[in-house]
Chains A and B, each alone.
Chain A
């Protein structure tokens, strides 16, 4: 079983919309996660880290739901530049593995 599972999407939303997607994880011992953003044909870049208290950075909010074993990423007031693939990865993993991520397309 993979460490994380994500809906590949694509999530197709208009500019200004609020969009959220989840990442379910299999290891109940995981206590932290990272969200990465990957643009087409580019390398992944760290978007934000997520711990038990969640995290908020501008328009982005990440939450960790331990009971249901998922983390969420909420994007408010979507911009065209938010179009990318979003990847979640368990923190402190000795062998960090990625799923296919969730594709977001923001259109005018």
Chain B
């Protein structure tokens, strides 16, 4: 089993609220990723990090931001949530061999 955890698993909030989705892994992986996925659709990469203090935007434009202050922690923040942000957010990490280990996801609903 992969040691990567996401919290909260489910979140329902009102428009305009600030939220942070947490992602932690205990495998010591340098590379971490955030994907966004709508039902029945493909995963879209929104942020990635190659290590501490490294963050990059993915191929899908996102109003979220990320930080990587510690190797094991890669939180994603939305300063002002909107209904268009309703989606599932999946965090993943990878060792040098390339396979991705995913967390169970955070399902966000913005009312």
Contact = CB atoms under 8 A, between A and B. Distances in A.
A and B associate in one complex: yes
Contact of B94 (A42, A96, A97): A96
A14 B45 CA distance: 34
Interface size classification for chain A:
20 to 34
30 contacts: A34-B99, A34-B100, A36-B100, A41-B39, A41-B88, A42-B104, A42-B105, A43-B90, A43-B103, A43-B104, A44-B90, A44-B100, A44-B102, A46-B99, A91-B97, A91-B99, A92-B97, A93-B98, A95-B45, A95-B58, A95-B59, A96-B33, A96-B45, A96-B92, A96-B94, A96-B100, A97-B59, A99-B42, A100-B41, A101-B42
Interface of B: 33, 35, 39, 41-43, 45, 48, 58-59, 88, 90, 92, 94, 97-105
